[in-house]
């Protein structure tokens, strides 16, 4: 049984080391819950959705009149 193996491995370990193992086990449980959550759905089909709908002025890089005195 995995529980028996876990108990056998824990024999002789310090309390701090056992607590570290417990924290790691909790971390694994949380990670598995997040991965298996049905509320997390991968988004697909968004790349390029707005292609061609934006534009940039021809003088985009031209200096602004408001900053002429600083240049």
pLDDT in tens, 12-57: 999 999 999 999 999 999 888 877 765 556 666 677 788 888 888 8
C-alpha span between 59 and 65 (Å, rounded): 12
C-alpha span between 27 and 38 (Å, rounded): 19
Q: What is the pTM of this model?
A: 0.47
C-alpha span between 60 and 8 (Å, rounded): 70
The whole-number pLDDT of residue 42 equals 64
* Upper half-sphere CA count for residue 41 (Cβ side, 13 Å): 5
Q: What mean pLDDT is predicted for residues 57-68?
A: 88
Residue with tokens 């694994």: 28
Q: What's the first-to-final CA gap in the chain, in angstroms?
A: 77
């Amino acid at each position: 049984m995995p529980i028996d193996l876990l108990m056998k491995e824990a024999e002789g370990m310090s309390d701090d080391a056992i607590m570290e193992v417990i924290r790691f086990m909790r971390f694994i449980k949380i990670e598995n819950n997040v991965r298996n959550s049905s509320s997390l759905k991968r988004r697909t089909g968004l790349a390029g959705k707005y292609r061609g709908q934006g534009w940039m002025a021809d003088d985009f890089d031209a200096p602004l009149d408001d900053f002429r005195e600083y240049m």
